[in-house]
């Protein structure tokens, strides 16, 4: 295989395939795709220092969050305190290995790998010659992990769990809870400072090469790397900058997305029929489905929380399946008048998908908190894994869908209009 030529002062939009020339940017400026308006590059002021300070502060808060008690529970003279690690130990002790592994990945493993990789990467900018391979390796981890960071969803799940338990027991917020809140806020701040194109430009440098015309990469015989944003020659199979496979359009995108959506619909049925949680009180066990939990919260007067759970756990998964299914249909049989609206719908489905994990995290935190034998205990129901599968499958479906397909039938008209505006 020959050497791949890639162009670093231009980038290809991952949503519409339009080739954009990147102008000089100052700190605090953003560059949007000239065709669809998608944000391609953000340059933050003093970004390296800010990433280092925010990342180290996040790790400090994580260390504090796991070092102390997280929540306290008191009912009829029986008291119990739990730490974040107790959430894992209780689930693993009860035999819920997959759920325990999911919580471990969401709270500790993925955020820690993300932060250490990012901090090492920023530090290594001063040692380019020695650490070039390690830089690319860390940057790949950062790109892959970022969509799966869910600590903010877990925090909302904790708050929902507290509302559910407020009528049954006295709940106290321990020191670790406040440290965890700081951990979530600082992690979100760190993620907001990360821009994959800026990071790749720091690692790979820049060369001045200009696009042939204002058109898509496919029309110019080029391919935009979906992984790092580089633009490579159309005959190459791998990006020389990041090593990722490149393709003008993702192979079998529609069939893969449809298969994942069908699988998620299959799992959606048991997720809503079987109980997601089983509550034991004074020796009597009562199962609760997702809708049962929503109705219970509504009857207790917790209307906002009931609405949040209903939207996140019932509406969003089903709406995401319908939206992605419709987008797949539009990719094959398009209506050209609404391409921008289709892209907005796709962006929404990508953003909201992970928030359906709220109910899973609610069950996990209640299981760790309420373990008092026959007096009162809560265990996950058989629907937990089915519901988790629905969320993961719909997130994967959104990732495998290639939004560039939506623009293919609309490209000639839209590019001509862009040229007329420039003239």
Phi, psi of 330 (to 5 degrees): -65, -30
Q: What is the side-by-side strand order in the sheet with 277-281?
A: 284-288, 277-281, 376-380, 371-372
DSSP SS3 for 182 = helix
pLDDT of residue 206: 55
Q: Is the dihedral of CA 211, 217, 221, 224 positive or negative?
A: positive
Cβ count near 200 (within 10 Å): 24
Buried b (16+ CB within 10 A) or exposed e, 140-177: bbbbebeeebbbebbbbbbebbbbbbeeebebeebebb
Cβ count near 201 (within 10 Å): 21
Task: Just give the CATH number of 48-192.
Answer: 1.20.140
pLDDT of residue 127: 67
For 250-408, which CATH class? mainly alpha
In DSSP notation, 61-104 reads HHHHHTTS--EEEEETTEEEEE-HHHHHHHHHHTT-HHHHHHHH
- Distance between CA 17 and CA 346 in Å, rounded? 15
pLDDT of residue 208: 45
Mean pLDDT, consecutive 10-residue stretches, the chain (423 aa), reads: 49 86 82 87 87 95 91 75 83 82 89 94 75 78 90 90 76 89 95 87 62 73 82 79 81 92 94 84 76 80 82 88 91 76 87 86 82 71 89 92 82 48 47
pLDDT of residue 290: 86
The residues pairing with 238 across neighbouring beta strands, listed in sequence order, are: 245
pLDDT of residue 193: 92
For residue 22, give the nearest of 38, 33, 36 by alpha carbon.
33
pLDDT of residue 295: 85
Q: Do domains 48-192 and 250-408 have the same CATH topology?
A: yes
> Is the CB of residue 35 less than 8 Å from the CB of residue 18?
yes
What the block records as the tokens of 235 is 């005959």
- Distance between CA 280 and CA 202 in Å, rounded? 56
Phi, psi of 107 (to 5 degrees): -90, -35
pLDDT of residue 5: 43
Place of tokens 């939004």: 403
Q: Is 315 left (phi over 0), alpha (psi -120 to 50) or beta?
A: alpha
Q: Where are the domains of the chain?
A: 1-44+195-248, 48-192, 250-408
**C-alpha distances in angstroms, 274 versus 98, 175, 354, 374?**
18, 36, 22, 22
């Amino acid at each position: 295989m020959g050497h791949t030529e890639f162009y670093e002062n231009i980038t290809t939009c991952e949503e519409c395939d339009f080739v954009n020339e990147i102008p000089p940017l100052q700190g605090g400026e953003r560059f949007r795709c000239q065709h669809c308006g998608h944000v391609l590059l953000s340059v933050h002021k003093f970004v390296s220092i800010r990433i280092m300070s925010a990342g180290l502060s996040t790790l400090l808060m994580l260390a504090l969050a796991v070092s102390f008690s997280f929540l306290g529970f008191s009912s009829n003279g029986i008291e119990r305190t739990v730490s974040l690690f107790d959430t894992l130990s209780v689930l693993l002790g009860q035999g819920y290995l997959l759920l325990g592994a999911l919580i471990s990945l969401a709270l500790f493993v993925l955020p820690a790998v993300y932060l250490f990789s990012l901090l090492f990467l920023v530090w290594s900018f001063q040692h380019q010659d020695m650490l070039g391979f390690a830089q690319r390796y860390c940057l790949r981890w950062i790109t892959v992990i970022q969509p799966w960071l869910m600590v903010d969803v877990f925090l909302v799940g904790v708050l929902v769990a507290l509302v559910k338990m407020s009528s049954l027991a006295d709940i106290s917020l321990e020191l670790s809870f406040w440290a965890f809140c700081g951990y979530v806020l600082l992690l979100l701040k760190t993620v907001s400072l990360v821009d994959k194109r800026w990071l790749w430009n720091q690692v790979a440098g820049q060369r001045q090469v200009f696009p042939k015309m204002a058109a898509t990469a496919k029309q110019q015989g080029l391919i935009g790397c979906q992984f790092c944003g580089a633009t490579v020659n159309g005959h190459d199979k791998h990006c020389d900058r990041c090593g990722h496979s490149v393709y003008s359009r993702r192979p079998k995108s529609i069939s893969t997305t449809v298969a994942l959506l069908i699988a998620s619909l299959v799992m959606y049925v048991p997720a809503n029929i079987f109980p997601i949680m089983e509550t034991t009180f004074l020796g009597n066990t009562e199962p609760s489905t997702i809708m049962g939990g929503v109705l219970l919260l509504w009857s207790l007067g917790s209307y906002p929380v009931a609405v949040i759970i209903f939207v996140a756990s019932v509406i969003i998964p089903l709406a995401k399946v319908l939206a992605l299914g419709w987008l797949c249909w539009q990719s094959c049989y398009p209506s050209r008048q609404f391409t921008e609206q289709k892209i907005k719908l796709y962006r929404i489905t990508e953003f909201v998908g992970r928030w359906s994990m709220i109910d899973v995290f609610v069950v996990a935190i209640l299981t760790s908190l309420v373990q008092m034998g026959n007096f009162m205990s809560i265990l996950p129901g058989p629907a937990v894994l089915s519901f988790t599968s629905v969320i993961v499958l719909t997130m994967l479906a959104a990732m495998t869908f290639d939004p560039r397909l939506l623009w293919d039938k609309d490209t000639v008209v839209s590019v001509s209009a862009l040229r007329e505006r420039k003239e």
